[in-house]
């Protein structure tokens, strides 16, 4: 696929990727997904998103070729490829912060390297393609365990670890009330994972009834439509005996609806780095001394958030791009033991050449779309 401008995507032929570094691998893609954060690119909201780039940071594939210093993979391996490009040598990688590698994105010091996510994350072509160049192949790419369904594996590259990390960063204690803003795939997974950390009550907030119904069934949580509950912050206060939630999770990011001022300034006119409605609600809904966990993606400039309330309430904010590699051993175990069912999130499977339809379907929430998987004709499985 190729980006042609805001809301314009097309399937096209591009040259085969090549080994450019001794730690590179070339992977033939078997499955790739469209992520909610791809919509920020699709809508033209992320600076330095160049016409001609291939998106896609959630993919699995078969190793076709390896560089001279690749020792942990061999040709023919079925791999899942975490969305982070991480060197494993810098101080951040050594800390386990694989989403913050300092040797993968020249164009920005704040962002790490990601596949197919504009030039502020390194300018790499992504996995919504038939073949991808995968740098630092010794570090993050992981051989898919025998017997694991490829559709479970592809969701372990981002959605599952991001939902899991959202819950982990919340520092959930046994019996806590956790509120998740956003019932997209990551929000649904965050709600599911909140139980693993011992939550006593999990509430998810969105405006799409079909997504709320999906979350109610998949995540076994309470689900409410913010268009029907009045002020969502007051609603959460009432639900928590006027104290506020122990943990609030922003699983929406820049595309949030629900506040006209935020929508106009953040999504329509780009005066902010996206609409900050979800994080605004999270800060105001959490209890004093509570934790706000942010995994929703925003642009690199500024956002309107009630920082005074962060101070007044003594809130801890934890946020990060997901360190996928750090979570994989535990999450693979959870999938193999039946604790988590990633592929249950998938609602649509499309051929890669129908990628423009896939983006529109996901973006406009058509046909009750939750998660779309793209299948290249060269997938072979």
Site for another protein in 110-139 (CB under 8 A): 110, 113, 119, 122-125, 135-136
Q: Nearest Cα to 178, choosing from 255, 262, 251?
A: 251
Strands 222-225 and 245-250 turn out to be: unpaired
Site for another protein in 259-298 (CB under 8 A): 270
Give dist(CA 95, CA 45) in Å, integer: 31
Q: Say how many residues make up the chain.
A: 381
Position 87 contacts another protein (CB under 8 A): yes
Site for another protein in 183-202 (CB under 8 A): 193, 195-202
Position 39 contacts another protein (CB under 8 A): no
State which residue, 258 or 299, has the beta carbon closest to another protein: 299
The least CB distance from residue 107 to another protein, in Å, is 6
Distances (CA, A) of 362 to 9, 34, 38, 216, 245: 13, 8, 10, 20, 30
Q: Choose which of 66, 166, 212, 221 interacts with another protein (CB under 8 A).
A: 221
Beta strands in 147-221 (DSSP E): 177-181, 201-206
Position 143 contacts another protein (CB under 8 A): no
Position 329 contacts another protein (CB under 8 A): no
Position 33 contacts another protein (CB under 8 A): no
Position 103 contacts another protein (CB under 8 A): yes
State which residue, 54 or 78, has the beta carbon closest to another protein: 54
Q: Choose which of 80, 97, 166, 215 interacts with another protein (CB under 8 A).
A: 97
Residue 346 burial (CB count, 10 A): 19
User: What value, to the nearest 5°, has the Cα angle with vertex 210 and ends 156 and 365?
Assistant: 70
Would you say 297 and 40 are in contact if contact means Cβ atoms under 8 Å apart? yes
State which residue, 37 or 45, has the beta carbon closest to another protein: 45
Q: Choose which of 74, 94, 268, 288 interacts with another protein (CB under 8 A).
A: 94
Site for another protein in 44-73 (CB under 8 A): 44, 47-54, 69
Q: Choose which of 147, 308, 338, 380 interacts with another protein (CB under 8 A).
A: 338
Position 90 contacts another protein (CB under 8 A): yes
Give one word for 365, left, alpha or beta, with left for phi > 0 and alpha for psi -120 to 50: left
Give dist(CA 273, CA 110) in Å, integer: 15
Give dist(CA 57, CA 106) in Å, integer: 18
Q: Choose which of 263, 320, 347, 378 interacts with another protein (CB under 8 A).
A: 320
3-state SS class at 134: strand
Question: Residue 268 carries which DSSP code?
Answer: I
The least CB distance from residue 16 to another protein, in Å, is 13
The least CB distance from residue 380 to another protein, in Å, is 25
State which residue, 78 or 232, has the beta carbon closest to another protein: 232
Question: Residue 114 carries which DSSP code?
Answer: E
Position 381 contacts another protein (CB under 8 A): no
Site for another protein in 345-374 (CB under 8 A): 356-361, 363-364, 366-367
Which residue in this structure is represented by tokens 């020249």?
Answer: 106
Which residues, in sequence order, are bridge partners of residue 59? 32, 81
3-state SS class at 204: strand
State which residue, 45 or 277, has the beta carbon closest to another protein: 45
Position 339 contacts another protein (CB under 8 A): yes
């Amino acid at each position: 696929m190729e980006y042609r401008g805001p809301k314009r995507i097309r399937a096209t032929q591009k040259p085969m990727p090549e080994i450019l570094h001794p730690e590179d691998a070339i992977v033939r893609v078997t499955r790739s997904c469209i992520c909610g954060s791809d919509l920020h690119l699709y809508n033209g909201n992320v600076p330095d998103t160049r016409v001609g780039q291939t998106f896609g940071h959630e993919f699995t594939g078969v190793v076709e070729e390896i560089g001279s210093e690749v020792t942990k993979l061999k040709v023919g391996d079925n791999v899942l490829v975490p969305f982070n490009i991480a060197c494993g040598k810098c101080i951040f990688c050594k800390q386990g912060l694989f989403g913050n590698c300092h040797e993968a994105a020249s164009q920005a010091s704040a962002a790490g390297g990601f596949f197919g996510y504009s030039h502020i994350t390194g300018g790499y072509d992504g996995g919504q393609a038939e073949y991808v160049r995968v740098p630092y192949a010794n570090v993050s790419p992981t051989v898919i365990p025998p017997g694991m369904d490829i559709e479970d594996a592809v969701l372990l590259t981002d959605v599952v670890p991001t939902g899991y990390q959202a819950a982990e960063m919340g520092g959930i204690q046994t019996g806590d009330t956790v509120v998740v803003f956003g019932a997209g795939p990551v929000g649904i997974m965050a709600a599911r994972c909140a139980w693993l950390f011992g939550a006593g009550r999990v509430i998810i907030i969105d405006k799409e009834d079909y997504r709320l119904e999906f979350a109610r069934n998949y995540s076994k949580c309470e689900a409410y439509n913010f268009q029907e509950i009045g002020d969502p912050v007051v609603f959460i206060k009432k639900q928590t005996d006027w104290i506020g939630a122990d943990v609030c999770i922003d699983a929406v990011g820049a595309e949030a609806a629900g506040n006209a001022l935020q929508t106009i300034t953040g999504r329509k006119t780009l005066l902010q780095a996206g609409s900050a409605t979800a994080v605004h609600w999270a800060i105001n809904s959490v209890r004093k001394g509570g934790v706000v966990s942010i995994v929703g993606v925003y642009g690199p400039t500024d956002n309107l958030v009630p920082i005074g309330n962060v101070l007044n309430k003594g809130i801890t904010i934890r946020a990060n791009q997901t360190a996928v590699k750090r979570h994989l051993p535990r999450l693979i175990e959870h999938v193999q033991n039946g604790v988590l069912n990633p592929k249950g999130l998938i609602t649509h499977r499309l051929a890669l050449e129908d990628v423009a339809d896939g983006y529109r379907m996901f973006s406009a929430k058509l046909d009750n779309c939750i998660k779309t998987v793209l299948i290249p004709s060269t997938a072979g499985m």
